[in-house]
Amino acid sequence: MDAGLLFGSVIGTIIVSISGTVAASVAFLIARYFARERILKLVEGNKKFLAIDKAIGENGFGVVTLLRLSPLLPFSLGNYLYGLTSVKFVPYVLGSWLGMLPGTWAYVSAGAFGRAIIQDESEFGLTGGNGLLTLGLGLLATALAAAYVTRLAKDAVKDIE
């Protein structure tokens, strides 16, 4: 919101999108290179975990994008969790960027709306209904992500049985 207040919707969204994606990538890499091997040792005999991990790794871009659209998985926790899976780095970064973009735009635009009120810019047209639209789209994305990941997990478990 601060970026929207300071820089407006477009520039603010660009700044927040880049910085958020870089921060998510750093957290992913920390988890990948400092914790993944230990986690794999802990779940070494768990065929279900390994199958689900493989399925998520193979469909990484789609899973990451859809889960980033969901408001239920906190981004900071997700950054580290994705680093523990076999999701490849580039699909993770692209999926994170794309999936975070709508929420980033919504928050930055809210800040820009505040700026417009402060500066009394009547040409800025953001109605209150957009908040409900954003929430509805977030909930729809959550349902789609949950269904997609559940299907992947079931298929992965079937493959090992």
Same-domain check for residues 77 and 134: no
Could you give the dihedral angle defined by the CA atoms of residues 75, 81, 83 and 86, in that order, rounded to the nearest 10 degrees? -130
Same domain, 83 and 142: no
Based on the fold, state whether residues 96 and 112 are members of the same structural domain.
yes
The pLDDT value recorded for residue 29 is 95
Q: Clarify whether residues 41 and 101 are in a common domain.
A: yes
The pLDDT-based confidence of 127 (bands split at 50, 70, 90) is: very low
Q: Is pLDDT at 126 greater than 80 in this prediction?
A: no
**37/9 same-domain check:** yes
d(C-alpha 43, C-alpha 36), whole Å: 11
Expressed as residue numbers, the domain containing 148 is 127-160
Mean model confidence pLDDT for the chain: 79
The pTM for the full model equals 0.70
Number of domains in the chain: 2
Instruction: Indicate whether 69 and 26 sit together in one domain.
Output: yes
Shared domain for 110 and 147, answered yes or no, is no
108 and 41 fall within a common domain: yes
Distance (Å, whole) CA 121 – CA 42: 57
Interhelix angle 75-84/89-119, nearest 10 degrees: 170
Specify whether 102 is located in the same domain as 114.
yes
